[in-house]
Amino acid sequence: MNCAELIQSLINDLNAIQYPYPQEQIDALISRSNMIARRVFGADSNYLSELTSAFRTFLGAVVINPNFDEFSPEDFEIDRQNEWLGKSKQVLNVLTTMMEDCNLSSISGKQVPRSNTIARSNRIFVVHGHDGEIKQDVARTLEKLKLEPIILHEQPNAGKTIIEKFEKYSDVGFAIVLLTPDDNGYPNTESGTNARPRARQNVIFEMGYFIGRLGRERVLVLYREQDGFEKPSDYDGVLYTVYDPTGRWRFELVKELKAVGYEIDANLLVQ
């Protein structure tokens, strides 16, 4: 499907929703709308914030507490439905503008910017936990290779929430995930004596995000060895790279970057 067809599918889904709507139906629409806007227009597109605002207003239209001293339940329900329909038009307006953007780009022959087309972006996202040593080592290695490490807490907040900031700066061509033994965990059927070292949960979440966004071939998982270290079972079968003191991991990184199209010189590592 092209850009316009994708947006039209969102408009069709919106028009198919009837009041009172099933929650899972609107949740699915919100998820698809954000995903398509991010993929078509980029993670820093204003359409993402406009959609968030429109959907927030849309949902807020159905959570008004009735004042039965002034309105009958029937009158209130009619008013609430009319307000819900009016607010839904705000979502439709954003989607329609996105559609027009797609159509204008098609007429002019200009491609709509897509976040998944920057295969050789020099911006490399570094997902990390509490291990500052490995984070800094990876960042300095990327700089030696003439690449730009993106470390989230080093980027300006610009009034954004954490997830909005994460989405903005995740528009990269490659990600390095640092699995370090920062936490301990164990099943609730066992005791604390069976706790195993593992990475922080935000690291696991962000690893899954980038695997879904970029594909497994654009995510290098680098881990610090420790006895009993627990790796995500859903990712079993994929090779992890050990953060070793000899620095062999750096050449593994170069190999993986070259495999997805980066033109870099491994000799920079020894200068």
Q: Is the pLDDT of residue 116 over 50?
A: no
**Within this chain, do residues 177 and 266 fall inside the same structural domain, yes or no?**
yes
**Which structural domain range is residue 8 located in?**
3-108
Tell whether 93 and 188 lie within a shared domain: no
User: Phi and psi dihedrals of 46, rounded to 5?
Assistant: -65, -20
Per-residue model confidence as pLDDT tens digits over 244-255: 888 889 999 999
Per-residue pLDDT tens for 202-245? 998 898 888 888 888 889 999 888 888 887 765 655 668 899 88
| pLDDT, position 66 | 44
The structural domain count of the chain equals 2
**Position 98 in a domain:** yes
201 in a structural domain: yes
Domain boundary among the residues 87, 108, 129 is at 108
In a domain, 217, yes or no: yes
Are 33 and 63 in contact, with CB atoms under 8 Å apart?
A: no
Identify whether residues 56 and 159 lie together within a single domain.
Answer: no
Q: Report helix, strand or coil for 185.
A: strand
pLDDT tops 60 at residue 114: no
pLDDT tens digit sequence for 59-87 = 655 444 444 455 455 555 566 666 667 67
Picking from 149, 153, 202, the residue whose alpha carbon sits closest to that of residue 179 is 202
Average pLDDT, the chain: 79
Q: 98 with 142, same domain?
A: no
Give the number of C-alpha atoms closer than 13 A to the C-alpha of residue 261, restricted to the C-beta side: 10
143 and 103 in one domain? no
How far apart, in Å, are the Cα atoms of 3 and each of 15, 27, 36, 38, 105?
19, 22, 9, 12, 10
What confidence score (pLDDT) does residue 88 get? 78
Domain contains 164:
yes
The pTM (predicted TM-score) of the whole model is 0.56
- Same domain for 140 and 102, yes or no, is no
Neighbouring C-alpha atoms within 13 Å toward the C-beta of 187 = 2
Instruction: Report the alpha-carbon distance of residue 87 to residue 216 in Å, rounded.
Output: 39
**Which residues make Cβ contacts (< 8 Å) with residue 240, sequence separation at least 6?**
179, 221, 222, 223, 231
Domain termination residue (choose one: 108, 141, 159): 108
Q: Do the domain assignments include residue 113?
A: no
Q: Which of 74, 108, 142 is the last residue of a domain?
A: 108
- 127: CATH: 3.40.50.2300
* pLDDT for res 62: 46
124 shares a domain with 93 = no
- If one counts every other C-beta atom within 10 angstroms of the C-beta of residue 250, the result is 22
